Amino acid sequence: MMYSVVIPAAGQGKRMKLNKNKQFLILEEKPVIIHTLAVFQRDSWCEEIIIVANSSEVEQIKELISTYGITKVNKIVPGGNERQNSVYNGLKAIEKAEIVLIHDGARPFVTEELIHKLVVEAENKDAAILAVPIKDTVKESDGTKVLHTVDRSMLWSAQTPQAFKSEIILQAHEWADKNQFIGTDDASLLEQLQKGVSIVLGDYFNIKLTTPEDIVFAQSIMEVKRGGNE
């Protein structure tokens, strides 16, 4: 079951406070973006990779993919102001694919097993996301005091990849672009159009590197995974 993947990597990484795009942070001798790309390079179901990058970083990415033997990258396209604009640019660059995955460049621990579960679900249901049940007790607040405790039993943290039939996600992005709707993930655009999105159980290890603490978590996850492979 073949798919194309769009990898948005055109952010600034402001919350990481590195003064550079977190895609280039080195973890176990390789940049984060290379760890991410390597998963799709290895996966035989992945036919094509589209990277979305800041124009000023395209050359750097080209050098890295050549150094690390990432051969499935078909195009590197420019990013937009918001993640959603970047993803839309990536989707427009796909030539032909029945199934499209969208996966954050800053989420290096996704596994082939999770990807395959997700792709099968998208084949059957048109749209599927990885998500994990929320672990914290969640409070709604006005900023100073608690208004109430939210019932956690129905709450999930969304992850990427998110997988879609290609024409459906492209239509949703076209609609969002026309109507200036910005969602925090790609599935939310389908939700706006009342289209169903299936949940596939993700993995708590599938973190996105967002704030400085995540670097510590990422290093530990690397150690665990390395241990498991020896």
What minimum distance in Å lies between the beta carbon of 89 and ligand CTP?
9
| Residue 177 binds ligand CTP, judged by CB under 6 A | no
To which residue do tokens 């400085």 refer?
Answer: 212
Q: How far apart are alpha carbons 73 and 53 in whole angstroms?
A: 12
Site string for ligand CTP, 96-135 (x = CB under 6 A): --------xxx-----------------------------
What minimum distance in Å lies between the beta carbon of 22 and ligand CTP?
6
Query: Closest CB to ligand CTP belongs to which residue?
Result: 11
| Closer CB to ligand CTP, 10 or 126, in the complex | 10
What minimum distance in Å lies between the beta carbon of 12 and Mg ion?
7
When CB distances are held under 5 to 8 angstroms depending on the partner's kind, the choice from ligand CTP, Mg ion, none that residue 202 binds is: none
Q: How many residues bind Mg ion (CB under 5 A)?
A: 1
Site string for ligand CTP, 2-41 (x = CB under 6 A): ------xxxxxxxxx------x------------------
| Residue 80 binds ligand CTP, judged by CB under 6 A | yes
| Residue 149 binds ligand CTP, judged by CB under 6 A | no
